[in-house]
Amino acid sequence: MRRVRVRAVPYPGGQQDPCPARSGVRGTRGSPAYCGAPDADPADGTYLGAITLRHGLNDFLLRAGGHIGYGLRPSARGRGLATWALRSVLVRAPELGLRTVLVTCGDSNLASARVIEKAGGVLEDVRETELGLTRRYWITL
């Protein structure tokens, strides 16, 4: 598997980023809510996907979105990147004061369900949400 560059996202207003940059990190994208995004294949610059860690949950995120969201382009799937990215972000979550995180996926997205379960996700329920039928998993850190 090729190495994947990870972006650590800076905080606005000069706050310290709780997701410190790793070596080889190039480029940033400002956002108050996200850190740790697999960016591109360094061999050719192909975009592979992204993962977000949300510092808190509003009503919508509690119902449907969760603390963590991720996605990979179809050609990058099946290589363990989502599992790697989720585990990498989970390591950073306690730095934000999180002891448990909610991770969701569509009920029919069995690959994502397997990724979440490999990372320790425990299925709370499957419910109808604004995003459709959604699996809701909690991971204790």
> pLDDT over 90 for what percent of the chain?
55
Q: What is the pLDDT of residue 49?
A: 86
Q: What is the pLDDT of residue 41?
A: 59
Q: What is the DSSP string of 105-118?
A: EETT-HHHHHHHHH
Average pLDDT, the chain: 77
Between 43 and 32, residue with greater pLDDT: 43
pLDDT of 35 strictly over 60: no
Spatial distance between the Cα atoms of 50 and 7, rounded to a whole number of angstroms: 9
Name the token pair of 31: 């956002």
The gap from C-alpha 124 to its chain's centroid, in whole angstroms, comes to 19
Between 101 and 10, residue with greater pLDDT: 101
CA atoms within 13 A on the CB side of 101: 27
Between 89 and 31, residue with greater pLDDT: 89
CATH architecture observed for domain 6-140: 3-Layer(aba) Sandwich (3.40)
Spatial distance between the Cα atoms of 138 and 66, rounded to a whole number of angstroms: 9
Domain boundaries, given as residue ranges, for the chain: 6-140
